[in-house]
Amino acid sequence: MALHTIMDRLPAIKRVLQDIVQEHNGDRSVEARRLLAQIDLQFIVCLVTLHKVFGEATFLSDMLQSSSLDLSKAVDLVEALVQTLNDYRDESFFDDLWNEVSQFNGDCNKNSFRTTLFYPVLDHMLNELNRRFSSKNCDIMNGIQTLNPTSDVFLKGKSLFPVARMYESNIEDLGHELHQFRRILERKIQSGMQRPSSVVELALFIEPYKEVFFELFKLCKIAVSIPVSTASCEQSFSALKLVKTYLRSTMSDDRLSNLGVLMASVWSLYHKGLIGGVLQKVLPSPQRNSRALSG
């Protein structure tokens, strides 16, 4: 989002900085001149390249941070992103990207741009994707999704057996457990029990039968503990930075904790569109909301 905004408004940003330089207003003009000097050819090349590459990775990033993460679909997105980045190495795509760079700076050296920045960025992202989402890790992700009651592959042995082998489970016993557990689960649902809606609820349901479904219960505990996302923690620290400023450094811990929770909750609801209409009438932006909550 930030790269997209800068791309769209770069000419206006440069004009504003040039106007500030012409004001000859001491430190303000010096700072504007310094920023203008930073918007050189290298900056433009990096901006255009990263805008294109990170734009393709946005969908995968959003899914991996989603509270309703579907790991099997995330694996599909990883494979699609890898294929897209490999296609970017095609000469025709590079020509289109280089033309976009030339619009901002006509003195760009095409060969230098390609060899010193474009291909290294692509190679680095591909290496990181292959390292983080290796075949082994993707098997684990697909196996965990098999234990999600809302998944299309719920309790399918074909997807679960690879991750079971990694954790040295008895595949033959696991196959028998899956067969018997499906019958028990369907019988309970038919008798009026609410169907489990998450891996945690499935593990709680299996726990009374853990001696019987030993292998399945072990895999459920692994599935509950592995896919931990840090997105919520990062949002909390972002809220904390806005709430506790240098001017509010003496705020008590209880007040700081309560305001941080409120701030993170409001941001979450705002970005989900649940309170957009009401919030715009009272507080036009999350930034104003941060000042109101922390005041």
Q: List the one residue out of 235, 204, 230 whose CA is nearest residue 217.
A: 204
Question: pLDDT tens for residues 229-283?
Answer: 545 556 566 667 777 777 777 777 788 777 777 776 665 555 555 555 555 554 4
Question: pLDDT tens for residues 190-217?
Answer: 888 888 888 888 888 888 888 888 888 8
Question: pLDDT tens for residues 50-78?
Answer: 888 888 888 888 777 776 677 778 888 88
Q: What is the structure's pLDDT at 264?
A: 66
The answer to whether residues 162 and 143 touch, using CB atoms and an 8 Å cutoff, is yes
The burial class, CB within 10 Å (0-12 / 13-18 / 19+), for 114 is middle
Question: pLDDT tens for residues 115-172?
Answer: 877 888 888 888 988 888 888 888 888 888 888 888 877 888 888 888 888 888 888 8
Distance (Å, rounded) from C-alpha 271 to C-alpha 276? Answer: 8
Q: What is the pTM of this model?
A: 0.61
The answer to whether residues 3 and 51 touch, using CB atoms and an 8 Å cutoff, is yes
Distance (Å, rounded) from C-alpha 17 to C-alpha 36? Answer: 7
Q: List the one residue out of 271, 245, 246, 272 whose CA is nearest residue 260.
A: 245
Average pLDDT over residues 32-46: 82
In this structure, the dihedral spanned by the alpha carbons of residues 98, 99, 103 and 105, taken in order and rounded to 10 degrees, is 40
Distance (Å, rounded) from C-alpha 55 to C-alpha 161? Answer: 35
